[in-house]
Structure 1
Amino acid sequence: MFPTPIQKSARWAQIGYKLLLPMALVLWLLPLIGVAVTSVRPAGDLAAGNYFGIPSSFAGVENYTAVFQNSPIGWYILNSFKVTIPTVIGAVALSCLTGFALAVYNFRANLLLFFMFIAGNFIPFQILMVPVRDMTLKAGMYDTTFGLVLFHVAFQTGFCTLFMRNFIKGLPFALIEAARVEGVSEWKIFTRIVLPLMRPAIAALSVLVFTFIWNDYFWATVLVQGQHAMPVTAGLYALNGQWVAAWHLVSAGSIIAALPPVLMFFLMQRHFIAGLTLGATKG
Structure 2
Amino acid sequence: MFPTPVQKAGRGASIAYQVVLPIALLVWLLPLIGVALTSIRPSGDLAAGNYFGLPSGFAGLENYSAVFINSPIGHYILNSFKMTIPTVIAAVGLSCLCGFALAIYKFKGGLLLFFVFVAGNFIPFQILMVPVRDLTLRLGLYDTITGLVLFHVAFQTGFCTLFMRNFIKGLPFALIESARVDGVSEFRIFIHIVLPLMRPAIAALSVLIFTFVWNDYFWATVLIQGDGAMPVTAGLSSLNGQWVAAWHLVSAGSIVAALPPVLMFFFMQRHFIAGLTLGATKG
| Paired positions, count | 283
CA shift digits 1:180-232 (9 cap, x unpaired):
11111110110010000000000000000000000000000000011110000
* Aligned-partner Cα distance in 1 for 2:43–2:242: 15
Q: State the match for 1:125 in structure 2.
A: 125
Q: State the match for 1:240 in structure 2.
A: 240
Q: State the match for 2:102 in structure 1.
A: 102
Could you say what secondary structure the match of 1:64 adopts? Answer: helix
Deviation at residue 11 of structure 1 after TM alignment? 2.2
Q: 1:20-169 counterparts in 2 under 5 A?
A: 20-169=20-169
Q: State the match for 2:213 in structure 1.
A: 213
CA shift digits 1:23-69 (9 cap, x unpaired):
11001000000000000000000000000011110000000000011
Measured on the aligned residues, the alpha-carbon RMSD in Å equals: 0.7
- Range that drifts further, 253-262 or 103-112: 103-112
Moved over 3 A (4+): none
Deviation at residue 9 of structure 1 after TM alignment? 1.6
1:279 is aligned to 2:282: no
CA shift digits 1:150-179 (9 cap, x unpaired):
000000000000100010001000000111
* Aligned-partner Cα distance in 1 for 2:31–2:103: 41
Q: Which amino acid aligns with 2:91?
A: A
Could you say what secondary structure the match of 1:92 adopts? Answer: helix
TM-score (norm 2): 0.99
* Aligned-partner Cα distance in 2 for 1:184–1:213: 37
TM-score (norm 1): 0.99
Q: Which amino acid aligns with 1:212?
A: F
The alignment-based identity, stated in percent, is 81
* Aligned-partner Cα distance in 2 for 1:156–1:2: 32
* Aligned-partner Cα distance in 2 for 1:273–1:236: 31
Could you say what secondary structure the match of 1:241 adopts? Answer: coil
Q: Which amino acid aligns with 2:202?
A: I
Could you say what secondary structure the match of 1:86 adopts? Answer: helix
Q: Which amino acid aligns with 2:3?
A: P
